[in-house]
Amino acid sequence: MKSAVILCFLLCLNGCIRTTHQNPNSTFTENQTETLRIGALVQKVDYAIAHPSNESLENIALAGTDTRHYVMIRGWLVQTLKGIESQHDASAAADRRAQLQVKIDFLQRAIRRIDLE
């Protein structure tokens, strides 16, 4: 979650800086609009990862099957999965392991989903 917020902030900051240097009175450029779109995409995927559901799986599939973002989304899912698997393996509490297993199953389904489409 923190990494997604930082990424969105940096993307938006980059767009704001470009606006200031180009023309302070101009409207959003095409590049800035794309930056905002990617930032919204990152937030949407971050929320989907944090809140596993069928709707979240669809949101990840829509973002991950876009060839422009496939590598980024898949890499994010794989790294998140590895982190959660590590937490799962280190956890002794059965209820915590069950919660983490739900996330592991969800992330594995999400990765398969974007790989197959």
Whole-model pTM: value is 0.72
Q: What is the DSSP string of the chain?
A: -HHHHHHHHHHHHHHHHHHHHH-TTS---HHHHHHHHHHHHHHHHHHHHHS-SHHHHHHHHHHHTSTTTHHHHHHHHHHHHHHHHHHHHH---HHHHHHHHHHHHHHHHHHHHHHH-
Domain spans of the chain?
1-40, 51-117
With a cut of 70, list the residues of the chain below it in pLDDT. Answer: 1-27
**pLDDT tens-digit profile of 74-87?**
999 999 999 999 99
The pLDDT of residue 89: 96
The pLDDT of residue 1: 60
The pLDDT of residue 5: 55
